[in-house]
Amino acid sequence: MKIIECPRDAMQGLAKYIPVDIKRSYLEALLQVGFDTLDCGSFVSPLAVPQMRDTAELLSSLNTSGSKTKLLAIVANKRGADEAVEFNQLTYLGYPFSISETFQKRNTNAGIQESLITLDYISNLCARKNKELVLYISMGFGNPYGDAWSLELVNEWVSKMVGMGLRIISLADTVGMATSKDISQLFSSLIPEFPDVELGAHLHSHPDSWEEKILAAYANGCRRFDSAIRGFGGCPFANDELIGNIATENLVSFMDAHKISHGLQKEAFQQAFLKSGNIFQ
């Protein structure tokens, strides 16, 4: 089971700027826990996401020694990708692609067709620069904007992305609309159809529905989960009310209860959890 810890997602919507030295200290604590990947920052406009304006500085000074955890940064356009690929610390670039025209414009200031051109550019750039591209299917479990959405539409888009050569695709419950039924149907359909693709779940949830969502994904073959300590996060370009990430401590409890191996160092996790209290208040 792969756990992708998402401090970037947790921090990006906070109005008060978190100084880079505090971010660095927190990420270095997370690096000791044993997560597969840290979603650590983004190369996007500082006007759009002011909290992430220091990602380049953060990566340049981050101490990753002794950690096997890989690093991922989000990019939303060609300029951001060109900058991100120059950082040897990064294994992954993540690109948010929405199957909602409305949300894609809100999130990346570009429509779906233009974003497909950008995606092709970033995919080729990653291949040349020895990076792996992680594709996030935003609005993967519903659409609050009136755009078309169906299980069949999600399947069609995943198929198209696989045809473009994508091999890591995470279905994102951007505004917390996913039901356990939809989660079950999507993963039970997609995972057998694309056995060579790593399909993940980036789930947002209200505190009372996280467990059923995790169970629905896991029971239908998903082995890649995004989460954030204390359940903070959410996309600042989505609804006015941010729906937080699945809390990592809840995901760990779920795995322990079901005797699922995760390899996390519990003492290091507790230290990181305590440190997070100085950031997320």
In CATH terms, 2-276 corresponds, of 3.40.50.11060, 3.30.1120.130, 3.20.20.70, 3.20.20.140, to 3.20.20.70
- pLDDT for 268 equals 98
230, 276 contact by CB (below 8 A): yes
> Which residue ranges make up each domain of the chain?
2-276
List of the chain residues with pLDDT < 50? 237-238, 240-241
What Cα–Cα distance (Å) separates residue 255 from each residue in 211, 225, 259? 11, 11, 6
- Which residue from 236, 228, 232 is spatially nearest to 47, judged by alpha carbons? 236
CA distance 96 to 108: 8
CA distance 57 to 96: 23
Q: What is the pLDDT of residues 121-170, one digit of tens each?
A: 999 999 999 999 999 999 899 888 888 899 999 999 999 999 999 999 99
| Helices H / strands E in the chain, number of each | 11, 8
- pLDDT for 273 equals 96
Q: What is the pLDDT of residues 62-81, one digit of tens each?
A: 999 999 999 999 999 999 99
Task: Establish how many alpha carbons lie within 13 A of residue 117's alpha carbon, considering only the half-sphere containing its beta carbon.
Answer: 4
165: phi then psi, degrees, rounded to nearest 5: 100, 5
- pLDDT for 243 equals 67
Rg (CA), the chain: 17
**Angle 91-78-137 from CA coordinates, rounded to 5°:** 65
- Which residue from 128, 129, 140 is spatially nearest to 97, judged by alpha carbons? 140
CA distance 265 to 126: 31
CA distance 137 to 28: 29
247, 230 contact by CB (below 8 A): yes
Beta strands 90-98 and 132-138: pairing type?
A: parallel
- pLDDT for 70 equals 98
